[in-house]
Amino acid sequence: MTIATLYAVCGVMLFGIGFYGVVICRHLLRKVISLNLMGSGTFLVLVALAHRTPDGQPDSVPHAMVLTGLVVSVSATALALASLRRFHRETQRTELSLHAERRGTDDA
């Protein structure tokens, strides 16, 4: 087992934990955090696999992809959080209506 394998397995586990959070957690802020966890796991797998070159020098193409992906994930997080703020301002809720308790009034 090499260092690259160790970190790749760790990245896969991070992705799994994030996916669990996206599916299970009800609060929307927790869903956003879980999505970020999934992204971090993916980046960890990519960088770990870039480390498996025969000459010991890591491949630079996955590094550039991960660097771009970090910036894109931050902007996607900002968009999700802005949508969450708007949703909370309009409905006073932080969960989707799929999870909300069924009340008599639907206008809340």
Partner 1 sequence: MNSLLWILDITLCGSLIWLACQTLATADLFKAIVLFIMLGLVMALAWARLDAPDIALAEAAIGAGLTGALLLSTLAAITKPPAPRTPSEKTEVDA
The site for partner 1 (CB under 8 A) is made up of 3-4, 6-7, 9-10, 13-14, 17-18, 20-21, 25, 27, 29-30, 32-34, 36-37, 40, 43-44, 47-48, 50-51, 58, 63, 66-67, 70-71, 73-74, 77-78, 81, 84-85, 88-89, 92, 94
In the bound state with partner 1, the residue whose beta carbon lies nearer, of 29 and 102, is: 29
From residue 44, give the alpha-carbon distance in Å to each of 34, 35, 38.
15, 14, 10
Query: Comparing C-alpha atoms, which of 84, 51, 42, 47 is closest to residue 63?
Result: 47
Question: Which residue intervals of the chain are DSSP H helices?
Answer: 3-24, 28-50, 60-91
Measured distance CA(59)–CA(62) in Å, rounded: 7
Q: How far is the CB of 8 from partner 1 (least distance, A)?
A: 10
In the bound state with partner 1, the residue whose beta carbon lies nearer, of 63 and 100, is: 63
Q: How far is the CB of 57 from partner 1 (least distance, A)?
A: 8
Give the position of tokens 């959080």.
Answer: 81
Q: How far is the CB of 29 from partner 1 (least distance, A)?
A: 6
